[in-house]
Amino acid sequence: MQVIKKTIEGLLEIVPTVYKDERGSFLESYNQQLFEANNLPTHFVQDNQSFSIKGVVRGLHFQRSPHAQGKLVRVISGRVLDIAVDIRPDSPTFGQYEAVELDSKRNNMFYIPEGFAHGFAALEDSIFSYKCTNLYHKASEGGIIWNDPELNIDWQVSNPIVSEKDVLLPTFKTYFSTILP
């Protein structure tokens, strides 16, 4: 397993070792000892899975403290552009984002700690899986609109398919103007 630190502190890409032969392939998607050795969380309390057709954009979602979630995300089938936006007000990278392409051929994963808004765009029909460090808590959920002009995220999809709920999310500036002085 290779762990790659991304530009924004706390974000990590994990590339597992894939063993292939004439029968197919094998990989470890989670190994407590390897995760501990790389300072990754080892306690996950909820697993989620979604299917998205090509062109779907989901996000940008997060949960507020004390129910904030760290997420270990990966693609089981297909390919997505995964996005993490730093929403930690005291962070030097507050308001910046990191994009990682996840696909079922590389089997790479992306660890997104608490304090980030998360979303993804399905670049192909995709099955997306994520492990969470905290349970879903509806009253703590928040979000930022996917096409925020200040964040200026290139989702790499034309004619995105976005849920009614996600279209109504506030901009980054609007959301943070209500909670920051």
CB-based burial label for 1 (10 Å; 0-12, 13-18, 19+): middle
How far is the C-alpha of 48 from the C-alpha of 71, rounded, in Å? 10
How far is the C-alpha of 122 from the C-alpha of 114, rounded, in Å? 23
Q: What is the DSSP string of 58-85?
A: EEEEEE-TTS---EEEEEEESEEEEEEE
Active site residue 61: yes
Of residues 19, 130, 136, 137, which has the active-site annotation?
Answer: 130
- Count of residues for the chain? 181
Of residues 43, 61, 67, 137, which has the active-site annotation?
Answer: 61
What is each CA distance from 178 to 5, 42, 96, 173, in whole angstroms?
32, 34, 19, 9
Cα 92 to the center of its chain, rounded Å: 20
Beta strands 141-143 and 24-27 are unpaired
Residues tagged active-site: 61, 130
